[in-house]
Amino acid sequence: MISSMTHRSVWAVLGLTIVTFGFYSIYWLVVTKNELNLGIQSEHKVPTAWLVIVPFANLYWYWKYCKAAEIRCGIEAMASFLIFLFAGFVGMLYLQYKFNQAAPPAVMAQARVV
């Protein structure tokens, strides 16, 4: 389990998603996808985020995203995929919570100061 995910407040992610009418969730997916792809083998990398807006291709994208989260942070891929599929942005909040748990203590301490 290797993690270099940025510590973000789950409440801030929720608030920004609501205030921006969901546009922040797309930004969050792109930024966290880039963080997940760092140092991961090419066959496990998450493809371009443009697939999120393509019907049916977005299911493939979310699955690759959840598999990368499993490899990088030890988050169960099937559970996070099902939460994304059936609970929408709740999956994003769940993953951010798990990313924060997987972040090293030094990163978490630095995030609290800022």
Residue 1 lies in a domain: no
Tokens of 53: 């807006």
pLDDT in tens, 25-80: 999 999 999 999 987 888 889 999 999 999 999 999 999 999 999 998 889 999 99
pLDDT in tens, 73-100: 889 999 999 999 999 889 999 999 999 9
* Best CA proximity match to 69, nearest among 89, 97, 88: 97
Integer Cα distance of 41 and 10 in angstroms: 28
Residue 5 lies in a domain: no
Residue 3 lies in a domain: no
Domain that holds residue 23: 10-113
The CA–CA distances, whole Å, from 23 to 49, 62, 85 equal 13, 17, 18
Give the total number of structural domains in the chain. 1
Residue 43 lies in a domain: yes
Residue 2 lies in a domain: no
